Chains A and B, each alone.
Chain A
Amino acid sequence: NAGVTQTPKFQVLKTGQSMTLQCAQDMNHEYMSWYRQDPGMGLRLIHYSVGAGITDQGEVPNGYNVSRSTTEDFPLRLLSAAPSQTSVYFCASRGNGYTFGSGTRLTVV
């Protein structure tokens, strides 16, 4: 089993560019979520989904969109990248505990 597959691992964007971070899981988990991790801030929830077709905002949703058309996929879209979105992003799905993707290190210049 692959678990949670997150791509890309690294990305550099210019301010104003858009991009999509991909997340896929093969464990048939209903709950999926996106976090960002910044120094001294811990993990902060961006958006989450409790099943296909259902999404909701977390603690820091501004500047990000999500969709959940299938149980497996939960992409995160940056609409117009800003330097404040420089961070490490983790996708996670929940079974008995959370399974995290390998992370995406995003730099916005």
Chain B
Amino acid sequence: ILNVEQSPQSLHVQEGDSTNFTCSFPSSNFYALHWYRWETAKSPEALFVMTLNGDEKKKGRISATLNTKEGYSYLYIKGSQPEDSATYLCAFLGGGSYIPTFGRGTSLIVHP
């Protein structure tokens, strides 16, 4: 079983704050790293699929970076809004397998 860690486990911020969280994964045999946004009572929705070291992806106020050599990815949210409140999941594909290993997620709550 591959070790995929997300930190922090939960985060409370005020509307307008910028925030970031981390996904750590094995640095060898990398294939891809996914980020998902998971709202309560809904299903996870794909945000980014990242495959190359140094990748930077952006969607609106949300962006992500990838460092495959050291085994981490950062997700950034600029100017958080209450509608950004969700759990953010990362999924690592690698280690000789194309089956993803999901982290346990970072729960973000943005207070108005």
Q: Which residues of A contact B (CB under 8 A)?
A: 31, 33, 40-43, 45, 48, 58-59, 90, 96-103
Contacts and interface: CB of A to CB of B under 8 A. Distances in A.
A99 B36 CA distance: 10
A97 B34 contact: yes
Interface residues of B, number: 19
A98 B100 contact: yes
27 contacts: A31-B98, A41-B104, A42-B102, A42-B103, A42-B104, A42-B105, A43-B44, A43-B89, A45-B99, A48-B99, A59-B1, A90-B43, A90-B44, A96-B49, A97-B46, A97-B48, A97-B49, A98-B36, A98-B46, A98-B100, A99-B46, A100-B43, A100-B45, A101-B43, A102-B42, A103-B42, A103-B43
